[in-house]
Amino acid sequence: MVDKNLELFDCGHRACGGCGAALAARLVLKGAGTNTIVVSATGCMEVFSTPYPETSWKVPWIHSLFENASAVASGVE
């Protein structure tokens, strides 16, 4: 069951208004729930969602290089 009030990708990010990636992250995390670890490769999502010292992620989040993201995700237990 999806909790409509659960926000695991919170406001405060710096994505453009109507950004598809931000909306997708928010909705996927609503469905996935709190028992989720996000692995994100370098890119727009990493830049606008984690400006130091802030983050919009309310779940564990790991940043890796482009070519390493799948290897990092395979090691998450």
DSSP letter at 67? G
Segment 43-69 mean pLDDT: 93
Indicate the Cα dihedral angle 42, 24, 53, 72, nearest 10°.
Answer: -40
Q: Mark out the alpha helices in the chain (DSSP H runs).
A: 20-32, 44-49, 69-74
Mean pLDDT of the chain: 92
pLDDT category at 69 given cuts 50, 70, 90 is: very high
Residue 12 or residue 63, greater confidence: 63
Average pLDDT of the residues in 57-65? 95
Conformational region of residue 40, where left means phi above 0, alpha means psi within -120 to 50, and beta covers everything else: beta
Give 66 or 35, the one with higher predicted confidence.
35
